[in-house]
Amino acid sequence: MGTEGEDGRVVAGRYRLRTRLGRGGMGVVWRAYDDLLGRHVAVKEIPLDLDETSPAEEARHVRARALREARAVAQLHHPHIVVVHDVVEDGERPYLVMELLEGGSLADRIAEHGPVDAVEAARIGIALLGALATAHEAGVLHRDLKPANVLLDATGDRFVLTDFGIAQVAGAATLTESGAFVGSPEYTAPERMSGARSGPKSDLWSLGALLCTALSGESPFHRDSLGGILHAVVTDEIRPPAEAAPLLPLIRGLLERDPERRLDAAQAEGMLRVFLDTGRTPPSPAERAALTAALEAAGSARRLLVTALLVAATAGAGVSAAALLVNGGLDGLADGGGTATTPATTSMSAAGPPANSLPPAPTSAPSGYRVADDPAGFSLAVPVSFTRRPQGERVFYLSPGQTIRLGVKSAAPQEGGPLGVLRRAAANGPATNPGYRDGRVTATTRHGLPAAHWEFTSDGATTAGGALRTYDLCWEEGGRMYDVWVTAPVGQAREAKEFFDVAVDTFTRT
């Protein structure tokens, strides 16, 4: 052995190990030199997890299994899968000889330069989806997809999936099949966590978590303990980061706990390509199916118009389910009889609606909601059981028991616009919201107008105890600044988020 991180060995008579590039549970990777072909390569030394007391027969079995899996991975050919040049044995230990990539890992890039934007995340997603599809077609599951296992070339433009060290090959026992869990918990699908049989869609869940990390810098399942991570993956509310908003339908489709409802690779790639073409992510097939069912339940009087809206949504128009469920919105689009096609086409274009083209006030509401024509000068849909309670310049709509609070505020525009307002509020969060944590403020738009989104967790006093989750959207419209938010116990956050989305989608000045 040489100095720290160096090695003097020559493997299989030709691969000279030089600098250690990294170490993980699946082995040590070395920068090496191929003396025969005169080129630099990466050599992965595969551990056998055997000690001196292990029977010779067991050692032979483990080596044969490791080589079988390594050779299966070596047969995968895709521009975004690392190239395996050779699989060799030396001293009864298997080695993989691979192409050497000089750009580091995606994890390194995020740590050094921060998260990527939605367009770059889409490029990463398409590259990895192609790699996974190739592996899955060959019967190979990766099982450890995470930023550290995505390498970049020297230009940073090529993303390469590597480290199939715990891959599962169809029809073969796996190298790590010892009854112990393998993989990275923050990126592991819930069906694997619970011990159920995994399949290709388990890798797609991992891709969803990876894209969240690329966009925000942290996995949505990151917690301070392994137990916390397991709970977050298997049972806790899934909260994609605010930075994932441009790709939210895709992220939700990948982070679907039921593998049967989870997006497959072709569906996910199609959604990402629509986003790159239009700047908007279309609804997932499951979202479109739910929307269609809801509209059919509401009646078929406007079937042709609904079909047109669904086509627009599929094309990436970003039409929300809550907005389409409001019959008043459909009525507004249909005004003028035979001229309905023109305004519908304009408002649903890929470029988004004109900044001064605002929806009409809703005249009816989705099932379970009612239209509240508030004397404060606005109209929106709220749950039928909610009651109005004004508090100064704020108006609240409260659930029975007041566990969920939907608030609305109208004020004059302030310095810095919506983003500045919410950033200042977030900076003051610990003082105004006891136990303030997990706060995120991001810039966005509403109907083409400047807006900002804020969400956070706190330990407020509006319930008998326990943590609260708040979702808040602030925007400028018609010379006023509007703020709509909802606060609810964490256990009711999913329900509250629906109330929030419907309120924002149906909100109109009166």
Which residues are catalytically annotated? 144
Long-range contacts (CB closer than 8 Å, 24 or more residues apart) made by 342-348: 344/305, 344/308, 344/309, 344/312, 348/309, 348/312, 348/317, 348/319
Q: For 78-112, give one letter per residue: b (16+ CB within 10 A) or e.
A: bebbbbbbbbbeeeebbbbbbbbbebbbbbebbee
Query: Which H or E element spans position 487?
Result: strand 480-489
CA angle 97, 103, 106 (to 5 degrees): 100
C-alpha distances in Å from residue 79, one per residue of 92, 109, 137, 146, 153: 31, 20, 15, 18, 11
CB atoms within 10 A of CB 191: 19
CB 506 within 8 A of CB 365: yes
Would you list the DSSP string of 341-380? HHHHHHHTSTT---TT--PPPPSS--TTEEEEEETTTEEE
φ, ψ of residue 116 in degrees (nearest 5): -95, 165
Closest alpha carbon to 138 in 112, 172, 111, 108:
172
